[in-house]
């Protein structure tokens, strides 16, 4: 069995799933993959929250993985691909891991069981059962404001000792809990923030990176913040973050991923901003704000001497 000693780090992108006329838009998906394969991202998460995974049929999720892997292979870029999974029945989770084992994912992002609100003991037993049933690494997704249950640090640290529980996407929304986890986590167990607006702060406190939906836009600017901190240039990192920090506010002004899809559509990276119910398109007001920001970004890129 592989171990979690190959730590996850850097900037991971939770890729949107493009739709058109109700179906998976493979043309736009391939365009997205080619685009972000040229960006300094360290991995892709497919079919998770930003990828509207709960609305995907199983055949669509499999196709999502296979098309992405094929496109990366065709252009010669090796990027790890993690598949988002969620559910409240441990037995069904084990079966899902078995069904998806041949799809080509390198690992899984698995959310805490939602709605049922199990105890800490139940959460540990749940993730241990899942981890025991696969040889691929698992990244725990702790996001209590969506699931209704918080995986506390004592339980998290117990799970960190499992051979193929590689880390956590941390959205616990408690800065003290996050800092305590980063302070106490063992080597090889990654803490990646999933809170876009707190990326800079999380890095300064010891996070290994982030899984950031906002990094669909200004990808290199997010990487610059990380790289400057890694070089010890905290002033430069803070300056870079000051230029960037309004972007997550814009892209999360309405439920994600609708704003991000609207931006990508206006930027020509996907052919439709379509989302699946219960998600709805952005309001006219937000659409106008995003259109203005896209126009400003294009004008700035046109003026840049490096492009």
Catalytic residue positions, numbered: 141, 169
Q: Is 130:94 a contact under the CB 8 Å cutoff?
A: yes
**Residue ranges at the known binding site:** 50, 211
**Residue ranges at the known binding site for pyruvate:** 50, 211
Q: Is 18:28 a contact under the CB 8 Å cutoff?
A: yes
Task: Dump strand ranges (E) for the chain.
Answer: 10-14, 19-20, 23-24, 43-46, 81-85, 107-111, 138-142, 165-170, 190-193, 209-211
CA–CA separation, 110 and 82 (whole Å)? 10
Between strands 43-46 and 19-20, the pairing is unpaired
Q: In this structure, what token pair is assigned to residue 301?
A: 């890129």
CA–CA separation, 217 and 294 (whole Å)? 10
């Amino acid at each position: 069995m592989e171990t979690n000693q190959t730590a996850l780090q850097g900037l991971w992108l939770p890729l949107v799933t493009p739709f058109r006329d109700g179906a998976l838009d493979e043309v736009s998906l391939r365009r997205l993959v080619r685009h972000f394969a040229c960006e300094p991202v360290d991995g892709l998460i497919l079919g998770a929250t930003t990828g509207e995974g709960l609305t995907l049929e199983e055949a669509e999720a499999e196709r999502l993985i296979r098309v992405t892997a094929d496109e990366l292979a065709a252009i010669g870029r090796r990027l790890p691909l993690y598949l988002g999974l969620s559910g409240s029945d441990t037995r069904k989770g084990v079966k899902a891991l078995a069904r998806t084992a041949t799809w080509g994912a390198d690992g899984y992002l698995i959310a805490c069981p939602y709605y049922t609100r199990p105890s800490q003991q139940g959460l540990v037993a749940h993730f241990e059962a899942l981890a025991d049933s696969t040889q691929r690494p698992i990244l725990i997704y702790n996001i209590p404001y969506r699931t209704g249950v918080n995986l506390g640090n004592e339980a998290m640290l117990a799970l960190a000792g499992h051979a193929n529980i590689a880390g956590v996407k941390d959205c616990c929304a408690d800065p003290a809990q996050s800092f305590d986890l980063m302070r106490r986590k063992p080597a090889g167990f990654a803490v990646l923030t999933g809170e876009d607006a707190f990326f800079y702060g999380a890095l300064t406190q010891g996070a290994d990176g982030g899984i950031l939906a906002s990094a669909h836009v200004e990808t290199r600017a997010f990487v610059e913040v990380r790289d400057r901190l890694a070089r010890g240039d905290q002033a430069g990192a803070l300056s870079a973050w000051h230029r960037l920090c309004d972007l997550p506010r814009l892209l999360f002004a309405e439920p994600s991923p609708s704003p991000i899809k609207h931006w990508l559509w206006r930027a020509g990276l996907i052919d439709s901003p379509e989302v699946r119910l219960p998600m709805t398109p952005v309001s006219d007001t937000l659409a106008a704000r995003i259109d203005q920001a896209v126009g400003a970004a294009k004008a700035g890129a046109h003026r840049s001497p490096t492009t």
